[in-house]
Amino acid sequence: MRKRSRTPEIIEAMSRAQQIAFGPFVFAACVSAKRLGMLKVLGQSGGLTREELAERMHLSPYGVKVLADMLVPAGVLRSEAGKLFLTKVGECLEWDPLTGVNLDFTADVCFKPLAHLEEAIREERPAGLSEFGPWPTVYEAMPHLPPQVLASWLRFDHYYSETAFREALKHLAGLAPRRILDIGGNTGRFCELALKALPQASVTLIDLPGQCAMARSNAALAGLGERFATAPVDWLDPEAMPETGGPADLIWMSQFLDCFSPDECRSILARAQRLLAPDGTIAILECILDNQDYEAAHMSLAATSLYFTAVANGNSRFFRRDELAAILADSGLDIEREIHPIGASHTLFLCRSAREDGAC
Amino acid sequence: MRKRSRTPEIIEAMSRAQQIAFGPFVFAACVSAKRLGMLKVLGQSGGLTREELAERMHLSPYGVKVLADMLVPAGVLRSEAGKLFLTKVGECLEWDPLTGVNLDFTADVCFKPLAHLEEAIREERPAGLSEFGPWPTVYEAMPHLPPQVLASWLRFDHYYSETAFREALKHLAGLAPRRILDIGGNTGRFCELALKALPQASVTLIDLPGQCAMARSNAALAGLGERFATAPVDWLDPEAMPETGGPADLIWMSQFLDCFSPDECRSILARAQRLLAPDGTIAILECILDNQDYEAAHMSLAATSLYFTAVANGNSRFFRRDELAAILADSGLDIEREIHPIGASHTLFLCRSAREDGAC
């Protein structure tokens, strides 16, 4: 594109394309500046020269200058009369908890694995996980991840799910469920919160045998006697059914269906309905890509989907609303209520069997 | 930040902060989509459904969907009535040569090394180079880099310097130089172009012994007899002077001074002036950070500085104009002409000794 053909539209597109091409530099500069204390020192000052900043940070003037060279055009710092100041964007990067969780998740869990994204898509496996070790999925890798990687992963996971679980439980309390099945309950965190919030309820966690064992060793769940049980199952075996000991009045699935293909979802939902009492509810908590109020939340979900691709399992992504709605309709489930937002970006679907023969 | 405190200014800052935090995902999605042929196929079609696109790309529908989920909010694709279209930004990523060179340079040379940026700044060495091998700087690493890394590096280097060299030579031709010293001549590419463009001139390439040997083995320079010579020197030895066999009427330094600290620059410029004839010119070609017409060019230079930090040598960066001007003034050099832009983003400074005792 020669200069004479540079219309404002092309200049803007070119500018955005270079922002993308240099995005990893901006990201790395922000993470480094934050971890080296540069954002904090600047935020607590009324503006500093590069030399003053270097002295306070016990860093070379070169280091401060080369970071500032990038952080100023990136909008994180402002340079005025020879002094550097932190912008609102810089304040978010330093002090906002959501931004901090996202930044650390990208830096520690996803950054180097993303170099394998093309391979992951081509081969339909989480090829980026090889940066940490030889595991087939992140679920097997979890207990062996380096401490900083695991810590950033857990903080990301908990930040989003903790608030969502607590808010969802307020809505579930109105249903006064007695027997709950937590399908895909993983570490048992939802079981823990549910047993606290709903003193009349008992919960059975249903997951792979490894996850069931992990949940049984969860100290907060031990000692609850008959109120907590586990039932192992591998839903990918199309005949498999967990032993739940009787119909449930509430089945809970949190970010569970998004781990499966549409056909697998239909098969799982058909079998799940056989575990449900006639008036029972299936409560599905999902992040729906196109249900988001903020552009940033939309991008956050799209990024998390790519984490599934490159690091986690190679085949998950968050649903668009029409995709999930079609699966539920195909499975004979009516959406009775749809509550959004739950937490930062989740949607809660309360569903009932439309078919009379759907319940046992 | 609770919702009630979300003013438009904070929403915008939060949105920008998340764009930064997820920048590596956007980048990886774009590189993967381009290398998997997705951008090209879409650009050559009048819009395709995700399923049609997957079929044409011989890729899983999942792969297409998870990439599109990110490329739509990133502004690279547009989704309308169930079909995907390439935007102007997507066209730049696929077809614009400058964008392509930048994208490949970031992906192949810089991406994984940028995970070591904090360490590089803290330890003042190119810590990211460890992703490729155990070399102290990229200059020693060059002959051993994996082919794709080297190819992307060379394309980036040549894309910017080739045009700049040719344009600069048009300005130098007016000076009708006979004896040229190319200080920091590296592979000898400028010598080659200069000897072609200026048939009356001879050129001596001055660099480290390894670079001199490399340039002497350059086929295009061999056989030029007395018109081409090399003179090894290590400028970091403050007493060192190259053997040039007589005063020059033009000294050329292209992206050379930016490899040194201000004190080192002053020492080098003092010695360089002793190699110059009384009326001689020192021509300095540099990318000046704050001389850029386009925001994208500014960001490109800031990114290249971070490449110097993390991958190349751990201590270089492009000058801001006042920094270079101060060094030239301290060294007794007057800027006679300043020509901008040369090529995409360079500035050419034509300087003369202000002090009578500056020349030999």
CATH code at position B204: 3.40.50.150
Residue ending a domain, among A94, A116, A144, is A94
Same domain, A165 and A88: no
Contacts of B30 in chain A (CB under 8 A): 20-21
Q: How far, in Å, are A85, B233, B356 from residue B359 at the CA level? A: 44, 20, 7
With 80 as the cut, is the pLDDT of residue B113 above it?
Answer: yes
Nearest to B92 among A14, A102, A300 (CB): A14
Half-sphere exposure of B1 (CA within 13 A, CB side): 21
Task: Say which CATH number the domain at A26 has.
Answer: 1.10.10.10
Same domain, A313 and A191: yes
Q: Which tokens hold the place of A309?
A: 């691709």
pLDDT (average), residues A142-151 = 90
Peptide bond just before B341 cis, omega within 30 deg: yes
Cβ-defined contact of B19 to A299 (cutoff 8 Å): yes
Check residue A360 and give its pLDDT: 42
Cβ-defined contact of A25 to B114 (cutoff 8 Å): yes
Same domain, A73 and A194: no
Check residue B1 and give its pLDDT: 43
| Chain A residues 301-340 with CB within 8 Å of chain B | 301-303, 305-310, 315, 317-318, 320
pLDDT (average), residues B190-203 = 95
Range of the domain at A90: 3-94
Same domain, A348 and A273: yes
Contacts of B299 in chain A (CB under 8 A): 18-19, 22, 26, 70, 73-74
Q: What average pLDDT does the structure give for chain B? A: 93
pLDDT (average), residues A140-149 = 88
| Chain A residues 118-177 with CB within 8 Å of chain B | 118, 121-122, 124
Share of chain B above pLDDT 90, in %: 83
DSSP state string for A18-33: HHHHTHHHHHHHHHHH
Same domain, A72 and A169: no
Residue ending a domain, among B64, B95, B126, is B95
Check residue B359 and give its pLDDT: 42
Residue to substitute from B19, B290, B321, interface A, most A β-carbons within 10 A: B19
Comparing A259-268, A319-328, B164-173, the range with the smallest average pLDDT is A259-268
With 90 as the cut, is the pLDDT of residue B23 above it?
Answer: yes
Residue ending a domain, among A94, A109, A138, is A94
Question: Number of structural domains, chain A?
Answer: 2
Q: Which tokens hold the place of A283?
A: 């409560």
pLDDT (average), residues B252-260 = 93
ipTM field: 0.91
A198 is a domain residue: yes
Query: Any chain B CB within 8 A of the CB of A344?
Result: no
Share of chain B above pLDDT 70, in %: 97
Query: Any chain B CB within 8 A of the CB of A69?
Result: yes
With 80 as the cut, is the pLDDT of residue B31 above it?
Answer: yes
pLDDT tier, A2 (very low <50, low <70, confident <90, very high otherwise): very low
B218 burial type by CB count under 10 A (0-12 exposed, 13-18 middle, 19+ buried):
middle
Share of chain A above pLDDT 90, in %: 82
Q: How far apart are CA A156 and CA A154, in angstroms?
A: 5
pLDDT tier, B237 (very low <50, low <70, confident <90, very high otherwise): very high
Contacts of A54 in chain B (CB under 8 A): none
pLDDT (average), residues A87-92 = 98
With 70 as the cut, is the pLDDT of residue A1 above it?
Answer: no
Query: Any chain A CB within 8 A of the CB of B60?
Result: yes
A343 is a domain residue: yes
**Quick count: other Cβ atoms within 10 Å of Cβ A170?**
11
Residue to substitute from B9, B10, B25, interface A, most A β-carbons within 10 A: B25
B339 is a domain residue: yes
Asked if B251 and B222 touch (Cβ cutoff 8 Å), the reply is no
Contacts of A53 in chain B (CB under 8 A): none
Residue to substitute from A156, A306, A315, interface B, most B β-carbons within 10 A: A306
Q: Which residue of A has its CA nearest to B300?
A: A22
Cβ-defined contact of B29 to A117 (cutoff 8 Å): yes
pLDDT (average), residues B36-52 = 97
